[in-house]
Structure 1
Amino acid sequence: MNLILLALGGSIGAISRYLLGLAIMKRFPSPPFPIAMLIVNLLGAGGLGGFFGIYYKSIPLAAYEDPLYLTIGIGFFGAFTTFSTFSVEAVQLYNKKKWAKLGTYVFVSIVGSIICFLIGFKLGKLIV
């Protein structure tokens, strides 16, 4: 049953990432750096933080057997956000020697994701 929940959340997360990425790329066809995945990853980090804040009120160390965490935390948000695409896009900027854009993209992606997670977590704790 756990694998089914994981697959369900993951498929919805992957489809959501794809559709949102397309919508962002359509809205911003020539961004200065890979903005679609940046936005998706920041939203995903904030969403996962919100989930932890609402559901757990803490950051549990052992939630891997919790069906809701499997579905939403690992499945949905694991598939919605993408470190692999971030890595590809960072290497593309590196290969093009776009140092300032690379630095900005990496910094905002990593630090921004942590900040978004914390904001989501704190707001989630306030909701319920």
Structure 2
Amino acid sequence: MSEAQWEWRIHSIIFVATFALAIDRMHYQNVEIELMIFTHHPEMAQTIMHNYTRGVTAWEGIGVYTNAATHVLVTVVAKDEVKAIKKDILSADPKAFIIAHENIQVTGGYIKHLI
């Protein structure tokens, strides 16, 4: 095999890898996740709104098993924000219960934060 053929193959591999990473990154940012957060720290809503510029809906709930009052927070975030938000929530409330729903459709005031 000639040197030109090897060079062509290496350039092709680099192009395909770079293209795949770019497409994957763009797609990852376009996936919305609904987070339902059950916490005893209502200030978590302000943390999400301030640190991630995301709206939060909140209401009061009662844990049926424990009969304890809890705060229920719901927000929609980009998939690449979920790990950081969970870390913030669990650092303030290690007993927080978080449910993440993928494959949702969002209509309305949701703004994508693209890098």
Under a length normalisation based on structure 1, what TM-score does the superposition of the two structures give?
0.29
RCO (CA 8 Å, sep 6+): is it higher in 1 or 2? Answer: 1
Higher helix proportion: 1
Higher strand proportion: 2
Bigger Rg, structure 1 or 2: 2
Under a length normalisation based on structure 2, what TM-score does the superposition of the two structures give?
0.31
